[in-house]
């Protein structure tokens, strides 16, 4: 009986310590990602024009990304989840899904790390296009 309680106690401690580390595990992009995007793109239900942007993970939750334009204004916020690429990238990358002429931000990876983030929620427009049977072409844009 004591052996069973001891094993259960160790499991509870491991579970507790794992839970403490969970918020940090979800923040896979730890540095700002600066990007020049030469086409308009959609994040959630917001369309952003071509330009220079900075993508930053909100450190308190690790599950929210904030986008700022070149003036430093917050222009978008969106929920993210962990995404793992099968390779370690030399440079940061943004991944877009293109439906016709519309591009939707899909994933962001920080250079030197196969762990990144994916946009958690599909926009209404992308959902509509998918229901119409339109196939998306995925492409990446390397950032310096």
Average pLDDT of span 116-126: 90
Pairing type for strands 115-119 and 102-109 reads antiparallel
Average pLDDT of span 121-129: 86
What span, in angstroms and rounded, lies between the C-alpha atoms of 58 and 50?
Answer: 23
What span, in angstroms and rounded, lies between the C-alpha atoms of 6 and 97?
Answer: 51
In the beta sheet, which residues pair with residue 82? Answer: 117
Average pLDDT of span 63-70: 94
- The separation between the first and the last C-alpha atoms of the chain, rounded to the nearest angstrom, is 59
What span, in angstroms and rounded, lies between the C-alpha atoms of 52 and 143?
Answer: 11
* Residues 104 and 124 sit within 8 Å (Cβ to Cβ): no
Mean pLDDT score of the chain, rounded to an integer? 81
Confidence of residue 44 (pLDDT cuts 50, 70, 90): confident
Confidence of residue 61 (pLDDT cuts 50, 70, 90): low
Check pLDDT > 70 for residue 21: no
Check pLDDT > 50 for residue 25: no
Confidence of residue 46 (pLDDT cuts 50, 70, 90): very high
What span, in angstroms and rounded, lies between the C-alpha atoms of 79 and 65?
Answer: 6
Who wins on pLDDT, 8 or 130? 130
Check pLDDT > 70 for residue 57: yes
The proportion of the chain whose per-residue pLDDT surpasses 70, expressed as a percent, equals 78
């Amino acid at each position: 009986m004591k052996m069973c309680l001891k094993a259960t106690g160790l499991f509870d401690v491991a579970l507790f310590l794992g839970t403490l580390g969970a918020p940090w595990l979800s923040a896979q992009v730890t540095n700002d990602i600066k990007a020049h995007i030469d086409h308009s793109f959609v994040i959630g239900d917001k369309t952003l024009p071509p330009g220079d942007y900075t993508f930053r993970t909100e450190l308190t939750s690790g599950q929210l990304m904030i986008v700022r334009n070149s003036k430093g204004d917050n222009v978008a916020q969106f929920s993210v989840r962990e995404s793992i690429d099968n390779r370690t990238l030399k440079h940061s990358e943004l991944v877009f899904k293109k439906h016709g002429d519309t591009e939707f931000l899909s994933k962001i990876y920080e250079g030197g790390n196969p762990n990144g983030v994916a946009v958690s929620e599909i926009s209404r427009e992308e959902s509509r296009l998918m229901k119409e049977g339109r196939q998306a072409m995925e492409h990446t844009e390397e950032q310096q």
